[in-house]
């Protein structure tokens, strides 16, 4: 019973490591990883992997928010006029 518990814990830890690594990867590295997994599978690739690849490609082509290709995303450099900077005026 202890061996089964250890195996389940090891599986949970491995899944958590994979999820964390996936979140920290850049879009380009995610796409490379997906290509490496999908290449040997060919037409037998599961649908969720194909959808994940499509979403990754869409995020790569979305732009940074400064161009019209970004769509409705908020530009990170934009600061609303009703917010004052943290530094006092000179």
75 located within any domain: no
79 assigned to some structural domain: no
Tens of pLDDT, residue by residue over 17-73, are 999 998 898 888 988 988 888 888 877 888 888 888 888 888 777 666 555 555 555
88 occurs within a structural domain: no
80 in a structural domain: no
Q: Is 21 contained in some domain?
A: no
Give how many domains the chain has, as a whole number. Answer: 1
| 47 located within any domain | yes
56 part of a folded domain: yes
Q: Is the pTM of this model over 0.85?
A: no
Is residue 70 exposed (0-12), middle (13-18) or buried (19+ Cβ within 10 Å)?
A: middle
C-alpha gyration radius of the chain: 21
């Amino acid at each position: 019973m202890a061996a089964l518990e250890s195996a389940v814990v090891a599986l949970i830890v491995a899944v958590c490591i994979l999820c964390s690594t996936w979140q920290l990867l850049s879009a380009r590295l995610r796409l490379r990883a997906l290509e490496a997994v999908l290449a040997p599978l060919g037409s037998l690739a599961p649908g969720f992997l194909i959808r994940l690849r499509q979403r990754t490609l869409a995020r790569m082509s979305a732009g940074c928010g400064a161009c019209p290709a970004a769509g409705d995303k908020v530009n990170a450099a934009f600061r609303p006029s009703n917010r004052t900077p943290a530094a006092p005026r000179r």
